[in-house]
Structure 1
Amino acid sequence: MKKVLFATSALVLTAGVAAAEVAVSGDGRMGVIYDGDDAQFSSRARVKFTLTGESDAGLSFGGSFRVDQENYNANAYRSAARGTAGAVWISGTYGKLSMGDVVSASEAAIGDLYEIGYTEGQFANDIEEITYLTGDGANLDQGPSILYEYTVNNISLYASASDGVNTVWYTTPGTNAHGDDTGDTAYSLAAKYDGSTWWAALSYAKHGDASEIGLGAEGKFNNFAVKGVYMSYDDRFDGLDEWKYTAGLAASYQADAVLVKGFWRQDKFDLFGGGTEKYDSFGIGADYDLGGGAVLAGGIIDTDYLDDTVVDMGIKFSF
């Protein structure tokens, strides 16, 4: 992938000062989505800025955001300037600390199921993404979140939190909402063991009365990869229904330039009026690497959430 550097070694004024860089990259896509009723054209182009630097003492720092995350009129709730899109970070001997629209410790350790299609799951409302209790846009009413990561040998530790203060940051940063700035701090803890060709992780998260325990593992063997995720929830509600668990399994196979991927996911709810409901989702897709940052991709997803089967096919680009 080609990167264009606007500034290279911009801060090299003396031999004792390390370099700072601003790199510009991007992505795009074009294709067709079938939503169960109609086929529609769908395209997108985005530019991303990645800023990096290093202090005299060897402390690394940086940040990243996309241009579309600075369009207040399009989405006043997500802005890199307000800390609710993109992220900044600092790292050194004692780990890495990030702040902004960061993922939770749970998601940092476990992640999601495999993305499929040229829209990478967006054509089915990103059903492959695990709905974590905290982080990654889940606590925007409290502004930026923090994520701490530390790795020693094969073990990685993670911790994340919001600040527990409800603000109307999207209109007047620093003021409280409706005169009440008290909120529930959302936090998460996780640990991960990396065994080279496999890893396993355990996580815990809490926000108010709701809590979450997560398990995840992935193994890679030659051209095959398989991943499993299980999230158990307590006192977590989706409307009036109580969300009990999410279980998922994903697999992939790489054959030269072709990558085939698939996943299954199930969500269980205790219904407000009594009884239980299970929602199943299935997806399969393939990518063909054309080289130079271009990939031909397509996918099919059937999910009870949409009560339909949806399809996408197109080409995606990395710049």
Structure 2
Amino acid sequence: MKKVLFASTALIATASVAAAEVKFSGYGRFGIGYQEDRTAATTTTTTTTTTTTTASSATVQNVNVNANAFANDTDDTILVSRFRLNIDGTAETDGGVEFSARVRLQADEDSSTGEANSAGLNGARFSVIYGGLRVDAGNVAGAFDNLANYYGNEPGLENFIGQYSAVDYGFLGYSSTGSGSNAVFFQYAVGDFAFGASYDQATIFQGGGNTTSADRWDVSATYTFNNITAALAYGQTDAGDAGDDPSLLVFTLGAEFGDFSGTLFVADDKTENDLTDGTAWGVSGAYNVGAATTLTFAYGDGNADADTQQYGIGAIYDLGGGVSLRGGVGVSDCDVCDDSTTRADFGAQFNF
């Protein structure tokens, strides 16, 4: 009787999962990562408390916190790793409207020490999809984060070099390890055109360590013709009394020609800060040398003093079955930086 009851329970559970179409996907990667003069940050905090008595005999405590950060030397070469598991639940109405939700379980190493971190779930993303229309809510990626060819080809196991390196504007992005911005993203695709837009409440830092919420929005348009994709996006944050409104305008171009694929990136980055205001640009490419080997490269720079310049190359060797060996080497620098930083990595990645 117990065996029959157990079998019935298992059937009910299996049927429930099948009806809900719960799917798992993701990847794992691990290997060796090198970063020149790698440091681990240590923060010491001093707290001072004063007590004031008001006329009504109520006691008010004012706490002043002073934090000092110190950089401690650590090993330049560490074990790097990531495990990412996407959990997607999907249901569809009789009229063909799809409802879905995603959470992500992810564990990364501590990039400053190489010690392992625990895995944790991020904030949920909810989606409604019908035909070419898609609406996301919750922990979403905005128009820039979803923009075709924004990230281009990123060399290395950890994708540590990007054509977008000189962009300093803070746009809405999907959070793999946090709760996200609890925002809304809209996208509509028809034929060769696609249009997107997103909105959320961003945090603006004011003087004295104070913060306030501000409206942040972005829009995008994408057009694909033959083997070429062109995309344009604009975003702005309403700074209010904090000052002028920061904004970002990005144009990307991507193309495929046989075994070669490449991207072009140009941006007008208005952060309302002289050190980071200006034009950013970059290129990236990938070339299939043979049936199993792909070479990648990326370069990014800007004309502002604090813009990050990055350049590097990488290689991918496909072992089949979703498994590949990956590695890369690159340099990061800026006009006001004391020294440039060299990074390199090598390891394996397997998709599931």
What is the TM-score when the length of structure 2 is the normalising length? 0.69
- Cα drift, residue 119 of structure 1: 1.9
Residues 296 and 314 of structure 1 are in contact (CA less than 8 Å); yes or no, is this contact kept in structure 2? yes
- In structure 2, the partner of 1:224 is 260
Q: What is the rounded CA distance, in whole Å, between the counterparts of 1:134 and 1:279 in structure 2?
A: 17
1:205 aligns with 2:235: yes
Partner SS state of residue 133, structure 1: coil
**Secondary structure at 1:10's aligned position in 2?**
helix
Corresponding position of 1:175: none
Which of residues 218, 221, 237 in structure 2 aligns to 1:188? 218
Is 1:35 the counterpart of 2:28? The answer is no
Please name the residue that 2:350 is paired with: 317
* Alpha-carbon distance in structure 2 between the residues aligned to 1:62 and 1:200: 29
- Asked if 1:286 corresponds to 2:315, the answer is yes
Q: Deviations over 1:250-272 (max 9, x none)?
A: 01112311111101000232xxx
Query: 1: distance between equivalents of 2:179 and 2:101?
Result: 22
- In 2, Cα distance between equivalents of 1:28 and 1:55: 34
TM-aligned CA distance change 1:86 to 1:302, over 3 Å: farther
Question: Which range moved further: 30-39 or 201-210?
Answer: 30-39
Deviation by residue 1:30-74 (Cα, 9 ceiling, x = unmatched): 2111112532222232322121221122101212222248xxxx8
* 1:46 equivalent in alignment to 2:64: no
Cα distance between partner residues in 2 of 1:116 and 1:252 = 9
Is the 1:104–1:136 contact (alpha carbons within 8 Å) kept by the matching residues of 2?
A: yes
How far 1:131 sits from its partner (Å)?
Answer: 5.3
Q: 1:170 matched to which residue of 2?
A: none
> Quick check: 1:117 aligned with 2:117?
no
Unaligned runs of 5+ residues in structure 2 are 1-11, 38-75, 108-116, 205-209, 239-244
**Cα separation, partners in 2 of 1:251 and 1:282, compared to 1, 3 Å:** same
> How far does residue 26 in structure 1 lie from its aligned partner after superposition?
3.1
Q: Which residue of 2 aligns with 1:169?
A: none
C-alpha distance in structure 2 between counterparts of 1:99 and 1:246, whole Å: 30
**Structure 1 stretch 48-57 or stretch 309-318: which is displaced more?**
48-57
Q: Deviations over 1:71-110 (max 9, x none)?
A: xxx89xx964xxxx34221111461001223222133224
| 1:151-166 mapped onto 2 (5 Å cutoff) | 151-163=189-201
Q: CA RMSD in A?
A: 3.1
Taking every aligned residue pair, what percent have the same amino acid on both sides? 24
The 1:165/1:133 distance shift into structure 2, 3 A limit, reads closer
Q: 1:308 corresponds to which residue?
A: 341
1:225 CA displacement: 0.6
| Paired residue type of 1:281 | Q
Shift of 1:231: 1.1
Matched, 1:25 2:61: no
Contact 2:280–2:301 (CA under 8 A) maintained in structure 1: yes
Give the AA of the match of 1:115.
E
Partners in 2 of 1:63 and 1:141 — Cα distance? 14
Equivalent pairs counted in the alignment come to: 273
SS at match of 1:184: strand
Partner SS for 1:88: strand
Verify the 8 A CA contact 2:26 2:84 in the aligned structure 1: yes
Which letter does structure 2 place at the counterpart of 1:225?
S
Going from structure 1 to structure 2, the CA distance change for 1:21 and 1:244 (only over 3 Å counts) comes to same
The answer as to whether partners of 2:311 and 2:330 remain within 8 angstroms in 1 is yes
Deviation, 1:206, is 0.2
- Deviations along 1:219-267, one digit per CA (max 9) or x if unpaired, are 1011111101111022443xx7233122110011123111111010002
- Structure 1 pair 279/143, CA: closer, same or farther in 2 (3 Å)? closer
Matched, 1:10 2:16: yes
Amino acid at match of 2:248: E
Structure 1 residues 30 and 68, CA, compared in 2 at 3 Å: closer, same or farther? closer
Give unmatched runs, 5+ long, in structure 1.
Answer: 1-5, 13-18, 167-177, 270-275
Which whole-Å deviations, capped at 9, do the CAs of 1:123-148 have from their partners, x for residues lacking one? x6x7766655321059x999311110
Shift of 1:8: 7.0
Structure number, greater radius of gyration: 2
Partner residue, 1:251: 285
Indicate how the Cα distance of structure 1 residues 193 and 8 shifts in structure 2: closer, same or farther if over 3 A, else same: farther
Q: Where do 1:75-94 residues align within 5 Å?
A: 80=122, 85-93=123-131
**CA distance in 2 between partners of 1:98 and 1:10 (Å):** 25
Residue aligning to 1:174: none
The 8 Å contact of residues 216 and 235 in structure 2, kept in 1 or not, is answered as yes
